[in-house]
Chains A and B, each alone.
Chain A
Amino acid sequence: MSFRHNRSRLAGASVAAGVVAAALALTACGAPGSQSANNGAAANPTAVSTQAPTSPVKLTLYDGQGLKNIDDALIAAFTKKYPTVTITATYDPDNVTTQNQPRQLASATPPDLIRVISVASGVKNNLLTNLDAYATAYGWDKLPPSQLSQFRASNGVAGSGSLYAKPSGFTMTGLYYNKDLATGIGMTTPPASIDELTALMAKAKAAGLTAMDVHNKEGGAIFPFQLLLNSSLGPTKVAAWVFNAASATIDTPEAVKAAQQVADWNAAGYFPAGVNGLDATAADALFASNKAVFFPWGNWDAANLDKTMAGKVGFMPMPPATAGGQLAAMSDAATSFGIPSKSSNKNAAALFLNFLSSDEARQIALDNGFMPSGTGAQAAPTVKPGSVLTDVVAAFGKVSAADGQVPFVQNATAGIANQAWNPESQLLLGGKESAQQFVTNVQAKYKDELGR
C-alpha cells in the first residue's frame, strides 16, 4: 500500500516538476524588458510647431485623482481656447499613481500628456520627450529658472540640463497657525528665527496647548525636519541631494542638527502625544479643535481649513535658522506634465504645456489652491477674500524671491519615503535612535537604492 502510494505521488511530483520546468523554459528567453528598449530619436524632436492644429486632434492625459479638479478646469479652458483639440483625462487614485505612472509611461500607447513623477527615470529609458525645442519656440526660458529646474535632467541627474516637463502650478509648505491661539501666547509678528519659534512653542505648551501639530504615522515629521534643513543646509545642497547629484550626502552636521531639533521639540512635549500613530486626518481634526498652535503642512490643506476654521488660520514660511537667514520651503509641481516619446501628437500636447503658464491657467491654479507658474510680468491672479491662501501666496512670493524653492526629500528616490524617511522618523521620535543614526540610516538607504 505504501509502495503504491509513493508511486502515484512520485508520478505527480514528476509531472509538477516537468510543468514548472516547461514554464521556466517558456519564460527563459532573454533579459526582462529587452523587447521594450526605446530608441532616442522620438525622444528628441527638433522640428516643432507652435501652431494650433487646424484639423481635430484627440489627446489623452494621465494624472492622480487628487488633481482632477484643477486638471478638468485647465482642460475645459484649454479646449475652449483651441476648439480643434479634445483631451480625454484618466485619473488613478493618488495612492497608486506612483506605482502606475511608470507603467503608463512605458506602455506601447502612452497618454499624450502624463504626470511626470521622476524625470530621471523617464529620461533614462528614453520614455520622455526632450522639450528644449518647444521651450525655445514658445519662450519658456523667460520663466524664473527655479520654476523649471526641477524638471530638467542631464546624464540621468535631475536639476539642470534639458527640459522634460512643465508644471500646472506649485505646492507650497510652511507653518499654518491658529491666529487666536498665537495671539494668546503673545505672537504679534511671525517669529524671525527658530529660537523665537521654540520660545513661542514653550509658551503654548505651558498654556496646555499642542504647540506643533505634527503627525508621523505617514512621515509627517519630515516636514518640520526639512523645513529646518532647507534653511540651515541651503536650498542648493538639499536640491542636489534630492536630484541624486553625484556624491551628494545628507549625512551632514546641519541635517543632524535639524533632526536633533525635531527630536528635542517632541521630547519637550510640543508635538501631540502618540505622534507616531497620528495621520493627516487626525492632525487636521486636532488643529480644527482649536487646541494646536502651529501646523507644518502645505497649500493642499488651505481649502479645507477655509471651510473648517474660516478666518482663523494664518500661514507663514518657516522661520530661517537664524534671523535674516535663508528663507526656503518645499515646493514642487502640482503636476508636472511631460510628453511621452511614443506620443504621436507632440505639437498639440506642447500647446497644452504652454497654456499652463497663461493668465487663465494661473487663475485656475490659484482657484484650486496651487501657486501659479509664470513670470513676474504677468498679471497676478486674484485670491478669494478672507482665504488663508492669501497668506500662502504671500509666503510663496517671499520664498521665490529668496530662490528658496526646494523639492521634497521624500522624492529623492522612489522608495526612500516608505523605506527610510517614514520608519526612521518614527524611530527618531520614538526615542529609538539618535539624530546621527537617523541621518546615517537615511543616507545608507539612499546609496543602496541608487546602487552607489
Chain B
Amino acid sequence: MSTVDGMTAPAGAVSDAAPVRRRPRRRTGAAGGPSLRRRAAWAGWLFALPALVMYAVFELYPIGTAVQYSLYNWDGIGVATPAGLRNYVKVFTEPQLLASIIHSFILIAFFSFLPVILALIVASIVREIRSQFAGGVARTLMFLPQIIPGAASAIAWTWMYSPHGVVNQLLSGLGLGSWQKTWLGDFTWALPSVGIIGTWLATGLCTLLLLAGIGKIDTSIYEAAMIDGASRIQQFFAITLPGLRREIGVCITITIISALASFDVVFMSTQGGPGYSTMVPGVQVYQLAFTENRVGLSSALAIVLSALVLLIILPIQRFFRER
C-alpha cells in the first residue's frame, strides 16, 4: 500500500519502520549501502530544485516580506516606522474590516455550495447522455464561464443587473415587474447578486471535475444497482455521491478559497458598495495597499486572511481525504 518516496525520511529512520518498507531498501543497499541511498535522496532534491527556487522566490519570499511589512507602518515609499502588533489589533477591532470577513463567509454559499450542488445535478444528467456529440456540447457549454476572466464576466453581469438590463427585463417579461430593482445598488440584494456571478463562474469547473470523477466509477456498479431495482435517486446517493468524495473535496476546497479570497468579481462589479455591503477582505487589501498606501495594515489583513483560509481548508481537506 505504501511506497518509499526516498525524499522525506532520512535513511536511518527507515530501519524502525514496518517490514514492508525494508525490502526496497535492501535492494539499493546491496549496491553500496546508505551512502548511495543518501545520494539518491539528494538527487531527488536536485530534481525538485528548480521548482523549489521558483517557490521560494515567488511564494515564500513575498510571504516573508508581507509578514515583515505587517509589523510596520509604511506608505510603500518612505522609511517605515515599527508598529509592533498594532496593525493586527486594528484588523480585529475595525468593524468594517471584520464585516468584510463576514461577507466573504456569506459568499461561500454562492461560490462553493451552490456550484457543487448544481454541478452534481448536471454531472449526473450529462452522464446519462448517450450521444457523444451532445455530451461534448454540454460539457463545453458548462465549462465556458471558466475560460472567461472573472473581471470580464463581472462587467458583463453588471450590465445584466443594471436598471434596464436583462435581469430586470426578464422579470418584467415574466410579469414580476414589482421585483425589478437596481440589483447591485440595493443594500439587501447586492451581496447575493455578486454571489450569483461567482456561482455562474464556479459551476463549470465543478461540473467538469465531477464528470471526470463519475467517469472513473465502474459502470458495472450502476448496472448491478439497476438490476436490483434501484431508482436514479437511490443510485445517486448510493453510488455517485460516495464515488465522488475526492472530487467534491477538490471542488469545495478550490471554491471556498476563491470565495474567501475573492477580489476580481467584487472589485469590478461593486467595489464593495453600496455602503460597505459587499466589501470583502481581498478588495480591502488592495485598497489599503495601493490606494491608501497603508502597506502595513494591508499586509496584516492579508496575513490574517491567509491564516483564515488555511484554518478553514485544512479540516475540509482532512474530511474529504479518502479513507
Q: Which residues of A contact B (CB under 8 A)?
A: 1, 3-4, 7-8, 11-12, 19-20, 22-24, 26-28, 31-34, 36-37, 98-99, 102-103, 105-106, 121, 124-125, 127, 216-218, 273-278, 282, 413-415, 418-419, 422-424, 426-427, 430, 432, 449
Whether A427 and B274, one on each chain, are in contact in the complex, defined by CB atoms closer than 8 angstroms, is yes
Whether A277 and B291, one on each chain, are in contact in the complex, defined by CB atoms closer than 8 angstroms, is no
**Which residues of A are found within 8 Å of B279, using beta-carbon distances?**
423
Segment of B182-190, B214-222, B225-233 engaged in the interface with chain A: B182-190
Interface contact tally, CB-CB below 8 A: 162
Known: A24-B64, A418-B271. A274 touches B291 (CB 8 A): no
Docked complex Cα distance between A418 and B276 (Å): 10
Whether A275 and B185, one on each chain, are in contact in the complex, defined by CB atoms closer than 8 angstroms, is yes
Docked complex Cα distance between A349 and B140 (Å): 56
Whether B276 and A423, one on each chain, are in contact in the complex, defined by CB atoms closer than 8 angstroms, is yes
- Name B6-41 residues within 8 Å CB distance of A: 8-10, 13, 17-18, 21
Whether, in the assembled complex, B51 has its beta carbon less than 8 Å from a beta carbon of chain A, the answer is: no
Segment of B66-74, B202-210, B244-252, B257-265 engaged in the interface with chain A: B66-74
The residue from A3, A20, A217 contacting B64, defined by CB atoms under 8 A apart:
A20
Whether A23 and B63, one on each chain, are in contact in the complex, defined by CB atoms closer than 8 angstroms, is yes
Contact-size category for B: 35 or more
Whether B64 and A33, one on each chain, are in contact in the complex, defined by CB atoms closer than 8 angstroms, is no
Whether B17 and A413, one on each chain, are in contact in the complex, defined by CB atoms closer than 8 angstroms, is no
Whether A31 and B182, one on each chain, are in contact in the complex, defined by CB atoms closer than 8 angstroms, is no
Known: A24-B67, A32-B72, A34-B79. A422 touches B271 (CB 8 A): yes
Chain B residue at minimal CB-CB distance from A427: B275
Known: A20-B60, A423-B272. A277 touches B183 (CB 8 A): yes
Given contacts A103-B77, A277-B186, 19 further A-B contacts (CB under 8 A): A1-B1, A4-B17, A7-B17, A20-B63, A23-B56, A23-B63, A31-B80, A32-B74, A33-B74, A33-B77, A33-B78, A99-B290, A102-B76, A125-B78, A217-B273, A277-B182, A414-B293, A415-B294, A418-B271
Whether A4 and B186, one on each chain, are in contact in the complex, defined by CB atoms closer than 8 angstroms, is no
**Which residues of A are found within 8 Å of B56, using beta-carbon distances?**
19, 22-23
**Which residues of B are found within 8 Å of A277, using beta-carbon distances?**
161-163, 182-186, 274
Docked complex Cα distance between A6 and B273 (Å): 47
The minimal Cβ–Cβ distance linking B144 to chain A, given in whole angstroms, is 26
Known: A32-B72, A415-B287, A422-B273. A430 touches B187 (CB 8 A): yes
Whether A28 and B68, one on each chain, are in contact in the complex, defined by CB atoms closer than 8 angstroms, is yes
Chain B residue at minimal CB-CB distance from A276: B185
Q: List 17 A-B contacts (CB under 8 A).
A: A1-B1, A4-B21, A7-B9, A20-B64, A26-B64, A27-B65, A34-B80, A106-B76, A125-B77, A274-B185, A276-B182, A276-B185, A276-B186, A277-B182, A277-B185, A415-B294, A418-B271
Whether, in the assembled complex, B295 has its beta carbon less than 8 Å from a beta carbon of chain A, the answer is: yes
Whether A426 and B273, one on each chain, are in contact in the complex, defined by CB atoms closer than 8 angstroms, is yes
The minimal Cβ–Cβ distance linking B14 to chain A, given in whole angstroms, is 9
Docked complex Cα distance between A413 and B273 (Å): 19
**Which residues of A are found within 8 Å of B290, using beta-carbon distances?**
99
Chain A residue at minimal CB-CB distance from B52: A19
Docked complex Cα distance between A106 and B77 (Å): 7
Docked complex Cα distance between A22 and B53 (Å): 13
- Of B1, B60, B78, B287, most A-chain CB atoms within 10 Å: B78
Known: A426-B274, A427-B275. A31 touches B81 (CB 8 A): yes
Whether, in the assembled complex, B91 has its beta carbon less than 8 Å from a beta carbon of chain A, the answer is: no
Whether A4 and B2, one on each chain, are in contact in the complex, defined by CB atoms closer than 8 angstroms, is yes
